[in-house]
Structures are given as C-alpha cells and as structure tokens.
Structure 1
C-alpha cells in the first residue's frame, strides 16, 4: 500500500508539472474591445472629394482626436450634423463625419451667387455687402439676374460639385441641396482655382462678416463664437422650416490653413438659440483648429 501510494503521489506531481509547462507555452493574445473611429462612423482620413470612398486610415498622432470626433453627433442630440475639416497645408482631411448627407443650403449658396455675379461684372462692393451681411434682398436680385438655377448648374462642373443640386422651386435659392463634402470643394475652388480678384473680393467679405445679418439674426454662432481669438473668414446659413431648422457654419481658420464645414438640421421644436449653441459646441470639439 505504501509503495502504491508513493507511485500515485509521484504520478500526480509529474502530471501537474507537465500541465504547467503546456499552459506556459501558449502565446499571449490581446483582446481589443474599445470601439475605434470606424465603429463611431467617423473616418478621420476620408477624402470628402470622392463620394462613397473610404481610404485606409493613416496612423493617428494621438488618442484625443478620434475621441473628440466620436463625440460630435451627441452634441446635436435631436438632429443631424455633418462635418468636414480639410487641412490645406498637409492636404488631408482630419475630420469627416457624414460628409455626403444632403441639406438645404440656406445662405451658403450665396457664395455661388457671388461667383456668378462677379463673372457678370457686378460691383465687388455689392457682392461684399451680400456676403458679409448675408443680405437676402441683394441675393435675390443677383439670383434672378444670373438665371436662377443656372447659377448652380454652371457651378457644378466648374467646381467639381458631385452632390449639389439646384432647388426644385427656382425662386427659392436657399433650397439648393448641398453636402459638407461639396461645400469643402467650393472653398477649395475659392482658394486654389478662382481668379485672384474674385478670391480677394469674397475673402474680404467673409473676413468682414458682421455680427448680425441683414435680417437681424445673430450670425456669430459656430466658428466666430468658438474661435473668436483665431483669425477667421466665414459664411453662415440659417433657415426654417423646409424641412427642419437649418444652421450652418463654414469658412477658413488659422491663417486660412483649415477649411471648416459644419452643417446641421434640427426639428422645428429646437429653438434657433439652442441650435446655434449646438453648432458652436461642435466647432469647439474639432481637434487641431484652435
């Protein structure tokens, strides 16, 4: 009995040793469960100039930017937000969120009206007045003089606008359909391809945007309120209610390095004041442009 017990004890010890050695030899495996940019719907390296494409993401320079981008939809909880930030120095797109969703343009189409008006020999002072104060009356006169929807149709091939459509009702220029990707293309055309005199006229107007528009609406929401200490040039847009409450902030910041486009649409139940504050918060959360 003692000899049998000794053999059993020895066998148990050897078995334990062999099991330990086998377990120790298993390779280390890391399980990653945190959702990255792709899971959040944010594609930091997406080029907005190519609808529907998603290039392989470039290496991130830090963990803060993706987290900030992932927070953006929560800042407009009852509506929709689309964002594109384009870096003209590196020719990259550090932020692209729902860049191809369609919105009505509100006053952003006035940039296209401005180009057409300058092409037709309209006084630069008139164009600057329309843009800086977002003057609807002047825009309407220039819209009619330029052939209404033909202004948009001509801009589409000239600027490579893949997703912009003229309004169904020719008399409602603010119903022009746009996307954040296409507004980014408009600004890239302005900075890289437009005739120098036209560029300077439009930039002077956008840098001189007044705090209140011609209709009395405060148009310093978004980029101006969020980045007041940074040099900016902006064109804002606001309208209601076709179909919802629209507030857009767009322009150039940080010595014209970054092109920023933030488009939003909320239900009518969301007030202008609340919607404007949301747009400002979105801009405050954009990485790298402050």
Structure 2
C-alpha cells in the first residue's frame, strides 16, 4: 500500500482550476429541466450518454486496515508546471486540504472557474434534505450521479436559488448560478469553493450525503465509468467521491472531488478542462495521473 507521504505537499500555492463534471443527460425526460450532458460510453472513445439512474445504494468503499497516516511533508514535483503538463492543451486546478492540521497543503490555479457538471448535485442534495426531501432518492442521485433525479429536485427545490443560497451561507466566492436557469450543470465553481462544501458536509451536513459518496458506484446511471481520479489513485485508502463530466460546449470537463484517508482526513478537489478532441478515456487517465502525482 502506498503511503500518504507527500500527498498534499505543503502549499506550492500557485495561482489559478477542470473535470467530472457535467453529467450530460442523453435521455432527460421532456418535463425535466436537466443539464444535457454528452458522455462517451465506457467502451467507446466517442459518443453520447448521461449520468445515473439508480438502484439500491451499494456498500461503502473502504481501504484495508487502518494505519496511522503521516502528517504531509514538503516534497518535490507538485506545482502548476507539473500538473499543467498532464493536461496538455487544457486547464487544471487542484486543492488539497488537511483536516487534521487545518491547512491547505496544495493549491494550484485555485482561481480558475469551471462549469460544475454533477458537482452541483452536492448543493442540490443539501437543499432537498434540509427541507425533508426523500433521503433514498438523494443518495441515489449522488452515488450513481442520476441526472433525472437532479433535474426533478432542481425544479422542485428552487432551481438557481439553490446555488445562490448555499453560496451565501457557505461563503462560496467563486460559485455562481447558471446563466440558463434550467441547466444546473452549467453552475460555475472553483476548487477552493468545492473544498468549503466538503468541509461543511463533514462537519455539519446530513450524514446521508457522505454515506452516499462512500457508496459511489463504478458506473454512473448513464454507464459512464466514474472511478477515475480519486478512486483509481487511492491505492487501497478509504475514499468518498462526487465526480463530474460533461462535453462539449466547447470543451470537455472532467472533475474528481471527495475525501481520502482515515477519518476523511484529506479533502481533494481536482477540476479539469480538456479540448473536445480529447476523448473520455484519455481525459480520465489524465485526471487519475494528477491525483497520483498529488499522492506522491
């Protein structure tokens, strides 16, 4: 098992953030106000699909026996230039927060903004559960990244006001509601804001949300493989994730976000944007390589 040695190497804060994100709905029902997300099926490098339908929430993913994790130490190699090379022709932002020390240990291109794709489902889930909505459906929306459920909740629980209300409550300075009120996946986000959302979820949010993220399925409801990034690079460590993907207006977004390690010690957010000509398998590998580089 690899250790979390230089994982979240001290700072190297370098300035300004793209990918799993917009889960493109290929089959959004007529009445839904969903985000139309174009997704390449797992076995193909070009094509279209969408994110999640659902079934019962699968068992949580956990790593092997718990071991004490070392405090992150300074290490070479995690800086903007290093990560930029992994997304040739695209953009990347990465932020890692160590909950034990209360410090941000990696910050690369933190001010760049991206369309959220399915990461906005975290805010949708908070709104639904805050108002006593159906817990099981919220968990299916998250663990299988179900676009139909997200569209239904978006319409019923306030649409763009979901974003503006939570941005105000959590102090999200780079998060904005979509210009088209029906396209929830076009919500604008930044990596530091996504870290703030996870900090709130872990400290104050409904436990059902993190339980769903720990039970994320390998395939989304649209068939897209959503274990790129954090899950593929975790190396047996415990994890919980919300992923996002979308294409192609005009670029391809792929985001991995979540927590890693014992007691959800590390919050990891990697947002990426790729040229439309870069297919999903290639973009997925790039995101996994970025997380692996962060882990050292």
**Under a length normalisation based on structure 1, what TM-score does the superposition of the two structures give?**
0.76
Q: Which residue of 1 aligns with 2:77?
A: 67
Q: Does 1:221 align with 2:228?
A: yes
Higher relative contact order (CA 8 A, sep 6+): 2
Say how many residue pairs are matched.
Answer: 230
| Counterpart selection for 1:159 from 150, 165, 170 | 170
Q: Which residue of 2 aligns with 1:23?
A: none
Q: Which runs of 5+ in 2 are unaligned?
A: 1-8, 16-71
Alpha-carbon contact 1:252-1:258 (below 8 Å) kept: yes
Deviation for aligned residue 1:47: 11
Alpha-carbon contact 1:44-1:66 (below 8 Å) kept: no
Q: Does 1:100 align with 2:111?
A: yes
In 2, distance between residues paired with 1:230 and 1:167? 35
Alpha-carbon contact 2:241-2:258 (below 8 Å) kept: yes
Deviation for aligned residue 1:66: 3.6
* Range with bigger deviation, 204-213 or 226-235: 226-235
Deviation for aligned residue 1:73: 1.3
In 2, distance between residues paired with 1:202 and 1:247? 21
Q: Which residue of 2 aligns with 1:88?
A: 99
Deviation for aligned residue 1:61: 4.3
1:191-240 CA deviation, whole Å, 9 max, x = no partner?
1233xxx1x10011000000000011000000001114110000000000
Alpha-carbon contact 1:47-1:92 (below 8 Å) kept: no
Paired residue secondary structure (1:117): helix
Deviation for aligned residue 1:188: 0.9
| Counterpart selection for 2:211 from 188, 201, 204 | 204
Runs of 4+ in 1 over 6 A off after TM superposition: none
Q: Which runs of 5+ in 1 are unaligned?
A: 1-41, 49-59
Q: Which residue of 2 aligns with 1:250?
A: 257
In 2, distance between residues paired with 1:143 and 1:132? 17
Deviation for aligned residue 1:45: 6.0
Q: Does 1:148 align with 2:159?
A: yes
1:68-123 CA deviation, whole Å, 9 max, x = no partner?
33521111112000000000000111110001101000000000000000012111
In 1, distance between residues paired with 2:231 and 2:13? 26
Indicate the structure (1 or 2) with the bigger Cα radius of gyration.
Answer: 1
Q: Does 1:79 align with 2:90?
A: yes
Closer, same or farther: CA 287–218 of 1 in aligned 2, 3 Å? closer
Alignment of 1:123-142 (within 5 A): 123-142=134-153
Q: Does 1:266 align with 2:274?
A: yes
In 1, distance between residues paired with 2:106 and 2:127? 30
| Greater fraction helix | 1
Alpha-carbon contact 1:81-1:98 (below 8 Å) kept: yes
CA RMSD of aligned residues (A): 1.9
Q: Which residue of 2 aligns with 1:178?
A: 189
In 1, distance between residues paired with 2:233 and 2:14? 25
